[in-house]
Structure 1
Amino acid sequence: MRYRLRLLYDIGGYLAAACLCLICTLITAQILGRIIDITVTQWGGDRIGLAIPGLAQISGFLLVGASFLGLAYTFIHGGHIRVTLLIGRLPPAPRAYVEVACLSLALALSLYLTWSLYWLLDDSIAFGETSYGLVPIPLWIPQSAMLVGVSLFCLALVETWLGTLHIALTRPSSFTIDDSGHG
């Protein structure tokens, strides 16, 4: 399937990858800091205390960003786990309609999640909520990544739903799993 908004989904995927790289960089810096501290104390020096405060919390928020921002990218590349045991055995025409029904359910649930995340983000901004860790991080930051990621996923679902619906209504007997964008 051809996606018109593929650039947006790719940007989400690159942002997800950037979050993962940042997690790796921060953890590597923390490990190197500990190695330097151990080395200095073994040579008789005082501990320098090279540590990143709130690393677990920051890494957790970056993991949330990576998980949600990568949803649409993973979906359009067929990377989500799908159980096609039943629909894979159906003839093409019924398979097209079942696929439309499944995509409709996924879209409805994703739209509800988007709506809920929007109001969660709105409350976090209104009340100035911050995290409880060593570093008080405004919660609207990771929640924004969640909202953007789920919104991109909804767009990808809409595009796939429209394409699958078009095939189901115009030429259902030619439907294949590849037509739905799930390779």
Structure 2
Amino acid sequence: MEKLVHNFYRLLMLLSCMSMLAAFGAVVLGVLTREVVHMNIPGLDAYAGYSIAAALFFALPGTLQNGDHIRVTLVLERLPERIRSGFEWFCLLAALGLTLYMAQYAVRSVWISYITHDVSASADATPLWIPQISMALGCIGFALAFAHALILRLQGKTFMAVSESARSE
């Protein structure tokens, strides 16, 4: 099961990379068509925005696992071990609850956009459920990552790596 979860994190990170490339491509194409061809492709800016948002949400679980999320350790380092452990448990449980709510909200938003045929207000008129899928998948992966972290914590293992920037401070 652990291998399946890690592969899901990798898949989301790959999709994040592809989304960043798509955003880059949309921006470059927009600049080239406006400056060189003197033509404007409607909706291209919206697609760049969708791609950037997708990259952000897809990367949530992988960056959590790699220790790249901002964590406030200033307080944790000064707490006694027993209190620190309880505080970390509380933080993981609170994060799991919050991310489950986010995932539920994101999935519900996709469904509502789909059944109401909601489209983008920009020139592209994209059905909004399509770009919202990335938000839902990323939030589901994020909630799964916190559940995974809790399970590993119960087993006495660690889930989150310490990032290079945190290690050097």
CA displacement, residues 126-170 of structure 1 (integer Å, 9 cap, x when unaligned): 111100111110110111110000001111111101111332xxx
1:27 corresponds in structure 2 to: 27
The answer as to whether partners of 1:64 and 1:146 remain within 8 angstroms in 2 is: yes
Partner amino acid, structure 2, of 1:181? M
Match of residue 88 from structure 2: 99
Q: Which amino acid aligns with 1:90?
A: L
Q: Is 1:151 aligned to residue 130 of structure 2?
A: no
| Equivalent-residue separation in structure 2 for 1:53 and 1:13 (angstroms) | 29
Distance in 2 of aligned mates of 1:62 and 1:19:
5
Question: How big is the alpha-carbon RMSD for the aligned residues of Structure 1 and Structure 2?
Answer: 1.7
Is 1:57 the counterpart of 2:60? The answer is: no
Q: Distance in 2 between matches of 1:117 and 1:84?
A: 29
Which residue of structure 1 aligns with residue 166 of structure 2?
Answer: none
Deviations 1:101-146 (A, max 9, x none): 1010000011011111122111111111100111110110111110
CA distance in structure 2 between the aligned counterparts of 1:34 and 1:6, rounded to whole angstroms: 42
**Alignment pair present for 1:74 and 2:67:** no
Structure 2 partner of 1:9: 9
Alignment gaps of 5+ in structure 1: 38-48, 168-174
How much has 1:90 moved relative to structure 2?
A: 2.5
* Residue 34 of structure 1, CA deviation: 3.0
Alignment match of 1:126 (pick from 115, 134, 159): 115
In 2, Cα distance between the equivalents of 1:86 and 1:80? 16
Question: Quick one: distance in 2 between partners of 1:112 and 1:34?
Answer: 42
Q: Is the 2:33–2:39 Cα contact (8 Å) retained in structure 1?
A: yes
> What percentage of aligned pairs have identical amino acids?
29
Which amino acid in 2 is paired with 1:111? Answer: L
Aligned residue for 1:86, secondary structure, equals helix
Describe the shift of the 1:166–1:95 C-alpha distance in structure 2 as closer, same or farther (beyond 3 A): farther
Distance in structure 1 (CA, Å) of the matches to 2:35 and 2:104: 46
- Distance, in Å, in 1 between the alignment partners of 2:95 and 2:161 is 14
* Corresponding position of 1:44: none
Contact 1:99 1:164 in 2 (8 A): no
Does structure 2 retain, via aligned residues, the 8 Å contact 1:100–1:165?
no
Q: Distance in 1 between matches of 2:35 and 2:113?
A: 38
Are 1:114 and 2:103 counterparts?
yes
Higher relative contact order (CA 8 A, sep 6+): 1
Determine if contact 2:107/2:136 at 8 Å carries over to the other structure: yes
Higher Cα Rg, which structure:
1
Does the Cα contact within 8 Å between 1:107 and 1:158 map onto a contact in 2? yes
